[in-house]
Amino acid sequence: MKIPLLTFSAWILLTATYGEADLSNYEGAVTDVRVLRHVELHPDSWRVWQPFITQWKNRHLIVAFGAMTNGKKDMGDIFATVSRNDGDTWEEPIAIFDHNQKAGEIQFAYANPVLFKPSDQNVVWCFAMRCSIKQENSEESYLVAAFTADGGYSWTPVELAMHYAGPLITNATIVETTIDDKKRYLLPAHRNTLGSDPRGSRDHFVLSSSSLLEWELEAFIPQPDKTRVFLHEGNIATWGSDALKIVMRTANYDETNLTTDPPRAYSSISRDGGHTWSVAVPEPHLHNAKSKGHFSRGADGTHIYVYSDGPAQRDLSWPGFPNGGRTSLRYKTKVDGGEWSEQKTFFHAGVKNSYPTLFEIAPGDYRAVWDSGTDTRSRTQILFGKLKLEK
């Protein structure tokens, strides 16, 4: 069954019913902003979060998102919804991974979908995290996958062969590369085991595969030489003519409630296809206050970085942010050989917004999704919009 995206007139009716914010008077460069999904449509969930978008072909878009199960901190179900007209209308979402489906006596929950369409396959993959539902949070997860060969209408789960045995947290899409003259797929991920294990660690690493079915640890991102940083949720993109760059979310290594000082994204460079990486360094022009950003390179060589403005999520000390951070989304662009642009507004409506993901459908023409909420409550809806970069 086809269902329309919520127009803003319908959204105003929904806000009156559920007491949510009116987003009709937003500011920013993104256009055609619509509510793709609302948490009230998932009665057993208290949040919708971490959306991810990709294109199957032509005007056919697929969005995956999480519905956070009541009583769980950061895990639940993964759904997918399809649009065949560039986002004007969308199909009823279907579950890719359902926490109600047990494996024998074991019940799992899921988080953080990552969509990827290989350049030589007419399928779209969804990678995600799977964790025992008995866990306090999803930080003991391992990698699972499913694929669709019909544009997102049905999904086939696949058991992966994992040579990396530790827990992981996914965030960003896969990048195709070449290592030692062989084609490889790179998946950025991190782990955060220090919170529950005094001998644990907070490390960013890169997994690699030649098939998307069998994965191994390719490399760790080296920590800064002086002060360790909690490097996580990195995005990989090509950099220059012969390199890859990863730009990562950050926090204080030992006290993750604190940002770096000042709050900055960190980056690392690989010049051998992702096999080895340079020591992570701060990006002086890229703000990050403990929230996922989007970093990618467009077809014309322009890089884009989209991020949450302001302080960290629960930091109430900044003037003008009485309810903490993750409010407005801002962005910067950079042409090859140039400098990062001044900060521009991606989306601002006086409400919480976070975790943007973009997909370029034509040079400089992007489709985007992110999770949004009210001025005091996060992740009550998934928003969709379009962004066209100025020449």
Domains of the chain from N-terminus onward: 2-388 (2.120.10.10)
Per-residue pLDDT, 195:
82
Tokens 């799992």, located at residue = 108
Per-residue pLDDT, 302:
97
The sign of the CA dihedral 79, 145, 365, 370 is positive
pLDDT in tens, the chain (391 residues): 444 455 444 444 444 334 455 677 899 999 999 999 999 999 999 999 999 999 999 999 999 999 999 999 999 999 999 999 999 988 999 999 999 998 888 999 999 999 999 999 999 999 999 999 999 889 999 999 999 999 999 999 999 999 999 999 999 999 999 999 999 999 999 999 998 888 999 999 999 999 999 999 999 999 998 899 999 999 999 999 899 999 999 999 999 999 999 999 999 999 999 999 999 999 999 999 999 999 999 999 999 999 999 888 888 888 888 888 899 999 999 998 899 999 999 999 999 999 999 999 999 999 999 999 999 999 999 999 999 998 7
The sign of the CA dihedral 150, 145, 366, 277 is negative
Residues contacting 150, CB < 8 A, separation 6+: none
Per-residue pLDDT, 10:
46
CA 375 to the chain's CA centroid? 21
**C-alpha dihedral, 153 to 368 to 2 to 17, nearest 10°:** 130
Q: What is the pTM of this model?
A: 0.93
Angle at CA of residue 300, ends 295 and 302, nearest 5°: 35
Per-residue pLDDT, 9:
43
Report the candidate in 85, 77, 78 with the shortest Cα–Cα distance to residue 114. Answer: 78
**C-alpha dihedral, 189 to 39 to 326 to 313, nearest 10°:** -80
Per-residue pLDDT, 107:
94
Q: What tokens appear for 278 in the block?
A: 């340079």
H/E run at residue 143: strand 142-148
Per-residue pLDDT, 22:
62
